[in-house]
Structure 1
Amino acid sequence: MTAGMQRTDLVLRLPSAGPEPVPLDRALDAVVGYARGLRSLRFRSPGTPEGRWVQVPAFGWARFDARPASAGLDADVLLAEGLHGRLDEAGWQDVHDALDRVAPLVEALVARAEERPFWTLPDDELSVLAEPGTAGALLRRIGQDAGAHSGHVLAALHHRHPGLVPHLTRTTRRALLPHLEEGDSGVEAVIGRELRANADAFAELERAAAAATGDAHPTRLRLHDILLWLTTTLRLAHAEAAGRGDAR
């Protein structure tokens, strides 16, 4: 993937993902692998009752990142299912109700940000020392009110506000928790520090990932999420290999 990059000397230093810096070409391979990687699935249909093997996307890119913005709560839930899997009837209603419940908090967050992306918010916006009413306080309330399927809720909110609302799962939240500092309003403060500390590298990764995939333009907030999730779920090597395979 280095052929599509303008700055090959950059590295990502993400303590939440591990102690070693990640060269930007490897990070790009991982993102492209997340977008294009395939896995085998045994498929049966009335026409082939004996079943056959088919190749399906290994990750959620095509079902989430490459999908257009939704036009309502029902579509929001469908997008979230594309990333986190199907919900039963009760779960679907829970996510739908949670999205409706947190809507005023999201509106307040958007107003508070004043069109600034998450990674440019001042430190005070993610510190308990400046509360109440900060972006960090609102994000914490959204997480608390997201209910039993918070991953689905935050996925939908991130898709609606890709530059402002971090997408978090239980796995990535656990990886961020040890890096909290005194005064942080929540794990979102850790994400903010890592994005600011790697501003040049993430700007290049944003550009290169959009050029390499062609069907989506994920913000650095989503790219951080993808890399952290791949690392903490031990899928990074798989994604990198898939990305390198696409390059050949």
Structure 2
Amino acid sequence: MAAGPPLSLPSAGPDPVPWDTALAAVLGYARGRRALWFRSPGHPEGRWVRVPAFGYERFDCRPPVAGPLGDDDVLVAEGLHGRLDPAGWAAVRSALDEVGSLADAVAVRADGRTFWELPTGELSVLEEPGTVGAGLRAVGRHGPGQHRAHLLAALHHRRPDLVPLSGSATRRQLLPHVEEGDSGVEAVVHRELLVNAEAFGALEAAASGALTATGGVRLTRLRLHDVLVWLSGSLRLAHAVALGRQTPEWAARRA
């Protein structure tokens, strides 16, 4: 099985993540299942069903949304972060109206480059204003309080290779690693992607190849970074690795 070097991710923990561990974790995140006791009108007595353990099918596999930011983008974000109450829905929907032009400006500034292809100056306050980092920080300021993660999830789904996805858990892990001159936590993500360029390139190719071969969608290295940091910080990494090593995709690659 093709492999890559270990990933040095200070935001995920002090020890490097072995490459095969990272691949198993990603496969577990995408394909892992958990048991759920389910009652329905057709089966009032109840029965066990197996449902996705994580958000890959509910979020990453949702078809791309076209046109102006709107209701469908909120639905996509709910697939990852959970249902919103009416007030939360209205807040996120309103924020999407406010950040549309800001997100477009970030894409224009990137000029076709992915997040990990950007020069470091784009994530530094020393080269502001007008940088990608400044634009992302402006987007974040419109995040509606506790529902900021929903806003970023919607924007990431639109541009999965440019807009970092950071929920409350991953943000807490990234913040201690912000350095002087960084435009925000996005600079930490950018730095870790650059340091681990070879490893993430191999992981992106292997994971996407395995998942698309079985009807899934590819995950950019920006999304892979978020998955690994979130699994580590939420104490789900070992569970995801165990699930991943039980998947047909893992067996196929081992063979």
1:14 matched residue in structure 2: 9
1:48 matched residue in structure 2: 43
2:162 matched residue in structure 1: 164
**In the alignment, is residue 239 of structure 1 matched against residue 240 of structure 2?**
yes
Q: RMSD value over aligned CA atoms?
A: 1.0
How far does the alpha carbon of each residue in 1:200-228 deviate from its partner, in whole angstroms, 9 at most, with x for none? 11111111001111211111000000000
- The letter of the residue matching 1:203 is G
What secondary structure is seen at the aligned counterpart in 2 of 1:11?
coil
Equivalent residues in 2 for 1:81-120 (5 A)?
81-120=78-117
Q: Could you tell me how far 1:9 is from its partner in structure 2?
A: 4.5
Q: Which moved more, 1:48-57 or 1:169-178?
A: 48-57
- The letter of the residue matching 1:152 is H
State the distance in 2 between where 1:169 and 1:159 align. Answer: 14
How far does the alpha carbon of each residue in 1:13-50 deviate from its partner, in whole angstroms, 9 at most, with x for none? 00110111111111000000000111111211112222
1:121 matched residue in structure 2: 118
1:206 matched residue in structure 2: 204
State the distance in 1 between where 2:114 and 2:143 align. Answer: 22
- The letter of the residue matching 1:129 is L
State the distance in 1 between where 2:94 and 2:45 align. Answer: 41
**In the alignment, is residue 225 of structure 1 matched against residue 220 of structure 2?**
no
What secondary structure is seen at the aligned counterpart in 2 of 1:41?
strand
- The letter of the residue matching 2:195 is A
What secondary structure is seen at the aligned counterpart in 1 of 2:129?
coil
Q: What is the TM-score when the length of structure 2 is the normalising length? A: 0.93
State the distance in 2 between where 1:37 and 1:75 align. Answer: 26
Task: Note the residue ranges of structure 2 that are not aligned, 5 or more in a row.
Answer: none
Q: 1:173 aligns with which of 164, 171, 175?
A: 171
Q: Could you tell me how far 1:195 is from its partner in structure 2?
A: 0.2
CA contact 1:102–1:146 (8 Å) conserved in 2: no
State the distance in 2 between where 1:57 and 1:175 align. Answer: 25
What count of residue pairs does the alignment treat as equivalent? 243
- The letter of the residue matching 1:25 is D
**In the alignment, is residue 143 of structure 1 matched against residue 140 of structure 2?**
yes
2:25 matched residue in structure 1: 30
- The letter of the residue matching 1:111 is V
Q: Could you tell me how far 1:120 is from its partner in structure 2?
A: 1.3
CA contact 1:84–1:152 (8 Å) conserved in 2: yes
How far does the alpha carbon of each residue in 1:119-173 deviate from its partner, in whole angstroms, 9 at most, with x for none? 1111111111111111111111111112121111101100100111000111101
CA contact 2:123–2:187 (8 Å) conserved in 1: yes
What secondary structure is seen at the aligned counterpart in 1 of 2:141?
helix
CA contact 2:4–2:203 (8 Å) conserved in 1: no
